[in-house]
Amino acid sequence: MARLSRLSLPGQVHHVLQQGNNRQPIFLDAEDRDTFLHTLAECARQHQVAVHAYVLLESRYHLLVTPASAQGVSMMVQALGRSYVRYFNRRHGRSGTLWEGRFRSSVLEAEAYLLQTMVGMDLAPVREGLAAQAQDWPWSSHSHYRGVWTDRVVTPHALYWALGNTPFDRENAYAEQVRNGLAETQWHRMESAVRGGWALGSPAYLAALAAQGPTRRLTQARPGRPRRPPAAA
């Protein structure tokens, strides 16, 4: 089966996933993670991509971003990957690839899925047994949104600003969403979309995307053979 072209649209929120080859660790210590985040900030600035949220796990990372151009996400991730692999191989005395194929991405309807995806990303270290609570994992954008520190990587989305009139209101409102958690079925749907490269949103949103002219399918086809048209009378 031919590989689908990547769905990448300027001004739309994209969920990005990249993992290590054979699920091997891509970060071995704090210096690796700090270097990755510094490089991410530079590549995002260079390619005009707003990074709304991130989480660095052991063998993969997730990003939530909005590009200014159709090629912005690909150019940013490729530049980030090349720079980080050079650093990682040099520091750890290794050679060869670090990544498992090309990165995965999906386009999502911000109003329906942006904050949900942020919560799911913040809780990923908890789901994987890396931290007891989201605030215990320092390698995500969660601390920025809790007001613990200002993260130079992060550009909050307008929907985050709409959570309250003051920083205190916004931080409390978002923290409450994280405390409320996310159903496993909701996170599974988001992960399935990003791994499959599908758009995620309401029928109206998907119709609006289709009107922008993508030449590929936006959602996964239902299993089974397509229905035949009724026979002519």
Per-residue pLDDT of 156-174, as tens digits, reads: 999 999 999 999 999 999 9
The confidence score (pLDDT) of residue 8 equals 85
Confidence of residue 208 (pLDDT cuts 50, 70, 90): confident
Rounded CA gap, 24 and 22, in Å? 5
Q: Categorize the per-residue pLDDT at 229 as very low, low, confident or very high, splitting at 50, 70 and 90.
A: low
Residue 44 — pLDDT band, cuts 50, 70, 90? very high
User: Which architecture does CATH list for 13-200?
Assistant: 2-Layer Sandwich (3.30)
Helix (H, G, I), strand (E, B) or coil at 23: helix
CA distances from residue 206 to 41, 52, 54, 87, 209 in whole angstroms, order as listed: 30, 22, 25, 40, 5
Question: What percent of the chain is modeled with pLDDT above 70?
Answer: 89
Binned at pLDDT 50, 70 and 90, residue 2 comes out as very low
Distance (Å, rounded) from C-alpha 11 to C-alpha 65?
9
148 CB neighbour count, 10 Å cutoff: 12
For 36, residues 6+ apart whose C-beta sits below 8 A from its C-beta are 27, 56, 61, 80, 84
Measured distance CA(138)–CA(123) in Å, rounded: 12
pLDDT, tens digit, for every residue of 103-113? 999 999 999 99
Longest dimension (CA), the chain: 72
- The pLDDT confidence band at residue 4, using thresholds 50, 70 and 90, is low
Any idea where the domains of the chain sit in the sequence?
A: 13-200
State yes or no: pLDDT of 199 exceeds 50.
Answer: yes
pLDDT in tens, 120-145: 999 999 999 999 999 999 999 999 99
Backbone phi, psi, residue 107, to 5°: -100, 135
Q: What is the mean pLDDT of the chain?
A: 91
